[in-house]
Amino acid sequence: MAITIRPATAADVGEILRFIKALALYERGLEQVTATEEGLLRDGFGPQPFYECLIAELDGKPAGFALYFYNYSTWKGQPGIYLEDLFVEPELRGLGIGKALLERVAGVAIKKGCRRLQWQVLDWNTPAIDFYVAMGGEFMNEWRTVRMDDEALERLARGDAGERADENANGALAGDAESGS
């Protein structure tokens, strides 16, 4: 069985979306997926791509993917890669496909001068946690993920974050917005 890892092309957006939905189903969040092929095409293969993607194939058939984008560590003064999604078809796990994808992303990071690769994993996903630890990943339990979506993001952009933000800001801005700088 031959594993091939290749950069995704615009022709792969349907497969990328299928992988995203399969991962969301596994992570118990399929109903939250609003991504479309049109959006993936625009955002990954347009004039200013926001992400890059690798497709894993086993014997010429799609088997998994890794979708990532670049970030920057202000403390290190160096770029890094954030791995948004890593997925291998459930029936193909254990064949080295996930390892091959992660190794390729690490190779991209080194080639581009990135000194960090980071990602998140759900706390109940013990097979993935065990895999990441075996690959040399280290967990940063002292850091918490902060996210702002949709309405909250729009309110903040308008300056309507609310009085609670002003009340809680005393000393809060001493915190670092960069996870694990």
Contact 97, 64 (CB under 8 A): yes
Please tell me the predicted confidence (pLDDT) of residue 162.
72
Class of 3-121 in CATH: alpha beta
- At 106, which helix (H) or strand (E)? helix 97-111
Distance CA 38, CA 45 (A): 10
- Residue 161 has a pLDDT of 83
Per-residue pLDDT of the chain (181 residues; tens, 9 = 90+): 899 999 999 999 999 999 999 999 999 999 999 999 999 999 999 999 999 999 999 999 999 999 999 999 999 999 999 999 999 999 999 999 999 999 999 999 999 999 999 999 999 999 999 999 999 999 999 999 999 999 999 999 999 987 666 656 555 555 555 555 5
Residue 78 near residue 113 (C-beta atoms within 8 A): yes
Q: What is the pLDDT of residue 163?
A: 60
Q: Tell me whether residue 132 is one of the annotated catalytic residues.
A: yes
Catalytic pick from 70, 72, 82, 132? 132
Confidence at residue 150, expressed as pLDDT on a 0 to 100 scale: 92
pTM for this one? 0.88
Domains in the chain: boundaries: 3-121
Determine the Cα–Cα distance for residues 67 and 40; give it in Å rounded to an integer.
11
**What is the spatial order of strands in the sheet that 61-73 belongs to?**
3-7, 52-58, 61-73, 78-88, 117-118
Q: How far apart are CA 142 and CA 136, in angstroms?
A: 18
Identify how many contiguous H helices and E strands the chain contains and give both numbers. 6, 5
Dihedral of the alpha carbons of 134, 119, 180, 113, in degrees to the nearest 10: 90
Give the pLDDT score at 122. Answer: 94
